[in-house]
Amino acid sequence: MSTAGPLQGAKVPLGGGETRPLRGAATRAAAELGGQRVRVTRRPVHGVLLLDKPLGWSSNDALQKVKWLLRAEKAGHTGTLDPLATGVLPLCFGAATKFSQMHLDADKEYEATALLGIKTNTGDAEGDVIEVRRVHVDADDVARVVPLFTGPICQTPPMHSALKKDGKALYEYARAGIEVEREARSVTIHKLDVALALADIELPAINMVVKCSKGTYIRTLGEDIGEALGCGAHLTRLRRTATGNFTDVQCVTLADLEAMTEEERLDCLLPVDALLVCHTRVTLDSDNTARFLSGVRRRGSWPDEKQVAVYSAEPHALLGTAQAQAGELIPGRLLSPLEIAQSQTQQATRVSREPAGTPQASSTTTDSREKVNHDQ
């Protein structure tokens, strides 16, 4: 399976003087301009875009491409996917970047294929073959090992990973031919379905469906299952199908984004509070809103809650996060008044383009607990 990166095309600046390869419609547009450098005017953009990351792209390259397509001033993502992987990659823009770290703790779901009998130095199809073994595995063998990798397990992070040791990423050591000691980490496999799949006559494979906690390396899981089967394995396919409450059916592809107008691209954005659906909602009146945005604790009758999303009553707008403790609402990450105003304008512009009677999208689940407070 080839995992080579996308073909290199024309280049345009993507901010900070950096240039990156354009693909698809952007390449054609650059060609029509006679190869001239295309400069874009950045603008404030706020929200979350669910990207179906394409094969062969790093998470950062995908982020920078979408940032360029949206002409966004500020962007970040909620955790990386390997170039080999495809699937759900939430991209945060503007005020949403303040809450991107909160999504790192979310459970993830994957579909993967591991080829049995061949080990590589990276644990996936991008690496060099380091060992080949004969495979004598049947469905009973697979069923026997699945319980060994379900529930809490320990994993040793792969050398080809972005984890850091002494301030240096492990993959940098690996590329220099240096292997360093790594401490095993505890992760949880909530669900693991494994089935044999015939890759060819001599090399069977296994298909895996995994729901796991943060920090789980599916490459390592595939390798470890291969070792338990006595033949070794390496990952040939990896797709993230869900992260937290976001699924791949909600995602948009880069090709689709390239073909859209600017307005259509903005319409793909979820509101900032899509990252906060598990938070308890608290709504403040105008006096308390002003004080809360200044970082002042508010007093009220709220029960203790570690995760609170705070809104203003009029206009209805996200103010930021907080925790409620001993009758106090303690500010956490806050939006600035400018970010709130820009988000309101962005939403109003979107609504004005929608046909009359179109239901408004809401990122808040119906079982969210909302508290309204007017105390001083």
CATH code assigned at 200? 3.30.2350.10
52 annotated active-site: no
> Does residue 308 lie within any of the structural domains?
yes
Task: Specify whether 185 is located in the same domain as 139.
Answer: yes
The answer to whether the beta carbons of residues 81 and 235 sit under 8 Å apart is no
Task: Specify whether 227 is located in the same domain as 151.
Answer: yes
pLDDT at 29: 42
Domain count, the chain: 3
Task: Specify whether 114 is located in the same domain as 222.
Answer: yes
Boundary residue ending a domain (267, 301, 325): 267
> Does residue 127 lie within any of the structural domains?
yes
pLDDT of 367 over the 50 cut:
no
Integer-rounded Cα Rg, in Å, for the chain is 24
- Spatial separation of the C-alpha atoms in residues 310 and 317, rounded to whole Å: 9
Task: Specify whether 288 is located in the same domain as 351.
Answer: yes
> Does residue 5 lie within any of the structural domains?
no
- Spatial separation of the C-alpha atoms in residues 335 and 347, rounded to whole Å: 16
Task: Specify whether 62 is located in the same domain as 20.
Answer: yes
> Does residue 124 lie within any of the structural domains?
yes
Pair of tokens at residue 329: 């609402």
Q: What is the mean pLDDT of residues 254-267?
A: 96
- Strand, coil or helix: 342: helix
Which of 315, 362, 359 has the alpha carbon at shortest distance from 340? 315
Q: Which is more confident, 370 or 91?
A: 91
pLDDT at 294: 95
> Does residue 224 lie within any of the structural domains?
yes
- Angle at the Cα of 367 from the Cα atoms of 361 and 368, rounded to 5 degrees: 75
Task: Specify whether 90 is located in the same domain as 163.
Answer: no
Cβ-defined contacts of 170-174 (< 8 Å, 24+): 174/121, 174/122
Q: What is the mean pLDDT of residues 214-224?
A: 95
Percentage, residues of the chain above pLDDT 90: 66
Boundary residue ending a domain (235, 267, 299): 267
pLDDT at 162: 73
Where residue 5 falls among pLDDT bands split at 50, 70, 90?
very low
pLDDT at 323: 96
Q: Which of 52, 61, 82, 273 is catalytic?
A: 82
Where residue 21 falls among pLDDT bands split at 50, 70, 90?
very low
Task: Specify whether 235 is located in the same domain as 355.
Answer: no
Q: Which is more confident, 371 or 142?
A: 142
> Does residue 272 lie within any of the structural domains?
no
> Does residue 82 lie within any of the structural domains?
yes
- Spatial separation of the C-alpha atoms in residues 25 and 9, rounded to whole Å: 11
- Spatial separation of the C-alpha atoms in residues 224 and 152, rounded to whole Å: 14
The answer to whether the beta carbons of residues 248 and 160 sit under 8 Å apart is no
Q: What is the mean pLDDT of residues 80-102?
A: 93
> Does residue 97 lie within any of the structural domains?
yes
The answer to whether the beta carbons of residues 332 and 305 sit under 8 Å apart is no
300: domain CATH number? 2.30.130.10
Where residue 365 falls among pLDDT bands split at 50, 70, 90?
very low
pLDDT at 359: 55
Task: Specify whether 136 is located in the same domain as 237.
Answer: yes
Domain limits for position 290 = 277-373
pLDDT of 360 over the 60 cut:
no
Q: Which is more confident, 302 or 33?
A: 302
pLDDT at 358: 53
Task: Specify whether 286 is located in the same domain as 365.
Answer: yes
- What phi, psi does 46 have (nearest 5°)? -130, 130
Task: Specify whether 130 is located in the same domain as 203.
Answer: yes
User: Which tens digit of pLDDT belongs to each residue from 158-187?
Assistant: 887 777 787 788 778 878 888 888 888 999
Task: Specify whether 117 is located in the same domain as 237.
Answer: yes
Task: Specify whether 263 is located in the same domain as 281.
Answer: no
